[in-house]
Amino acid sequence: MINKSKLKYISFVLVILAFSACKTPDIVEREPQTNFPETYNETTDTVNSANIKWSDYFTDPHLNALIDTALQNNQELKITLQEIEMARNEVSAKKGEYLPFVGARAGADVDKPGRYTSKGSSEATTDIKPGTATPDPLQNYVIDIYATWELDIWHKLRNSKKAALKRYLGSVEGKNFMVTNLVAEIANSYYELLALDNQLEIVNKNIEIQSNALEIVRLQKQATKVNELAVRKFEAEVFSTRSLKYDILQKIMETENRINFLVGRYPQHIERDQQAFSNLVPSTVTAGIPSQLLQNRPDIRQAELELVAAKLDVKAARANFYPSFSLSADVGFQAFNPAYIITTPQSLIYSLGGELTAPLLNRRAIKATYYNANAKQIQAVYNYERSVLNAYVEVVNQLSNIDNLESSYDLKSKEVNALTEAINISINLFKSARADYMEVLLTQRDALESKFELVETKKRQMNAMVNMYKALGGGWN
């Protein structure tokens, strides 16, 4: 009868636990929407420039040397590598949580209960051996091995480990995305540096042209063909252009130091071919098809892995509503005297137990954790969708940018050629008194601005080539 009563109580408890576990709160789930357009501008060619290694995509040896050094020395990249190491250690920690934990311990203590306590009176009348009284005070020595193990029936611990693994893989993709951005930033800064070199050369030539024009005006003044106002105007223009030279020199210094910082070294001269800019021609970039972004873009893959991890977190959080089972075991030796510590079976101790626990009342903390995990999962869905949309928009923008800059550069080139010829024409007309000095000044000023704009347009063309490569997901492989 006693066994049947116990069985009834155990069954009653199990029913309550099962009932409590089944009542998990309802949540709103959402799957990502990735309805990609099938093509860019109705082009179905699958050849994709993202598959080209950066060392082959960029042909300037000085630029490639800078990128290679940055991939070894950049401090931010090194910080990210340590974050990856921490994520890897987190995976090991989560894996260890669902494996049995085994430990060993040794201890000693002294216990002196009062004589007129229940424990003291009991020990006073107890003999270890016939004719031998219990030691007073009573010493205790123990050596044992113990083990605990939570049975992962609902896969709570395994799902936590899998989530940590996905986040580790996501951190690797985050590092790849940083490499892509680092390669693009160095390349853009390098082309900016070449453009500044070219602008400096233009300014030096323009200073020479303006200085020659100033001498002509001075001669014209001596011949009483112009007045002092014309001389002062030309002098002011020369001073203005010389001032512009120092502004460009400062920008060159700052751009060099920006590259040095990315490369991970103190300020120094950046090796480059300063005459190469005028001969630069943007590489032809092939975008492939939009679906390739899912594979080539590290930020999209990172967002996808974060989404998978968030879904696993929801499963792990749901398991907190279910009963948990754990086992514990202990075996060793215990005695009041070290001489008896390994005496068997008198000093042998052991225990084996199991525990079943489940939340019944006041489960607010568990519900809050569950709702937070689901909110993060929905957040991860939106983040994934945003990453996909952003990647597509970036590619479309750069495709349009490349086409428009090509047309703009052709027109700017014609403008520069026309204004360069206009400088000589204006000076000749001024010498023959068929044009005034303001026409000469304005022509020179327009020519300088147009040459600067031409250099700026070419720099933007090179930047568009780099940014297109980054948008497609190139540079990390």
Q: Where are the domains of the chain?
A: 25-98+154-321+363-471, 101-123+134-151+324-357
- pTM, whole model, 2 decimals? 0.85
pLDDT score, position 1: 44
Q: What are phi and psi of 329, to 5 degrees?
A: -145, 155
* Pairwise CA distance, residues 386 & 329, whole Å: 51
> Coil, strand or helix: which one is 21?
helix
Report DSSP state, residue 290: G
**Is 276 in a helix, a strand, or coil?**
coil
Which pLDDT band holds residue 418 (cuts at 50, 70, 90)?
very high
Is residue 103 within 8 Å of residue 146, measured between CB atoms? yes
> Is pLDDT above 80 for 208?
yes
Of 44-53, 128-137, 421-430, which range is least confident?
128-137
Would the pLDDT of 130 be above 90?
A: no
Q: What is the rounded CA–CA span in Å between residue 158 and residue 142?
A: 35
Band (pLDDT 50/70/90 cuts) for residue 269 is very high
pLDDT score at 358: 80
Residue 462 has pLDDT above 90, yes or no: yes
Most confident of 212-226, 363-377, 451-465: 451-465
101-123+134-151+324-357 homologous superfamily: Outer membrane efflux proteins (OEP) (2.20.200.10)
Kindly tell me if the per-residue pLDDT of 126 is higher than 90.
Answer: no
For 408-435, what is the mean pLDDT?
Answer: 86
Write down the pLDDT at residue 86: 93
Average pLDDT of the chain, as a whole number: 87
Strand (E) or helix (H) holding 327:
strand 324-335
Helix or strand (DSSP H, E) at 189? helix 156-222
**200: confidence class by pLDDT, cuts 50, 70, 90:** very high
Phi, psi of 332 (to 5 degrees): 175, -155
Helices (H), 23-155: 54-57, 61-73, 75-97, 118-124
Pairing of strands 348-357, 132-133: unpaired
Which among 301, 327, 324 has a CA at the least distance from the CA of 387?
Answer: 301
DSSP per-residue codes, 297-314 = -HHHHHHHHHHHHHHHHH
Say how many C-beta atoms besides its own lie within 10 A of residue 477's C-beta: 14
Q: Which residues, in sequence order, are CB contacts of 99 under 8 Å at separation 6+?
A: 149
Confidence band (pLDDT; 50, 70, 90) for 15? low
**Burial of 106 (C-beta count, 10 Å sphere; 0-12/13-18/19+):** exposed
| C-beta contacts of 65-69 below 8 A and 24+ residues apart | 65/271, 66/186, 66/190, 66/259, 66/263, 66/270, 67/182, 67/183, 67/186, 67/187, 69/263, 69/264, 69/265
Sheet holding 101-111, edge to edge: 101-111, 138-151, 324-335, 348-357
Task: Between 129 and 300, name the one with better pLDDT.
Answer: 300
**CA 461/CA 63 separation, integer angstroms:** 17
Q: How many Cβ atoms are within 10 Å of 277's Cβ, its own excluded?
A: 21
Query: What are the tokens at 475?
Result: 């540079």
The answer, yes or no, to whether residue 438 has pLDDT greater than 50, is yes
Which residues make Cβ contacts (< 8 Å) with residue 146, sequence separation at least 6?
102, 103, 104, 105, 328, 329, 330, 331, 332
Q: In this predicted structure, which of 9-23, 68-82, 277-291 has the lowest mean pLDDT?
A: 9-23
Give the phi and the psi of residue 385 in degrees, each rounded to 5. Answer: -60, -40
Mean pLDDT for 350-379 is 88
Rounded CA-CA distance 312/332 in Å is 40
Number of other residues whose CB lies within 10 A of the CB of residue 383: 19
CA distances from 20 to 7, 24, 313 (A): 20, 8, 21
Q: Tell me the fold of 25-98+154-321+363-471.
A: Outer membrane efflux proteins (OEP) (1.20.1600)
Kindly report, residue by residue over 383-403, the tens digit of the pLDDT: 999 999 999 999 999 999 999
- What sign does the dihedral 100-106-110-116 (CA atoms) show? positive
Q: Summarize the confidence of residues 39-58 as an average pLDDT.
A: 89
Radius of gyration of the chain, Cα coordinates, nearest whole angstrom: 40
- 3-class state of residue 42 by DSSP: coil
- Which neighbouring-strand residues pair with 103? 146
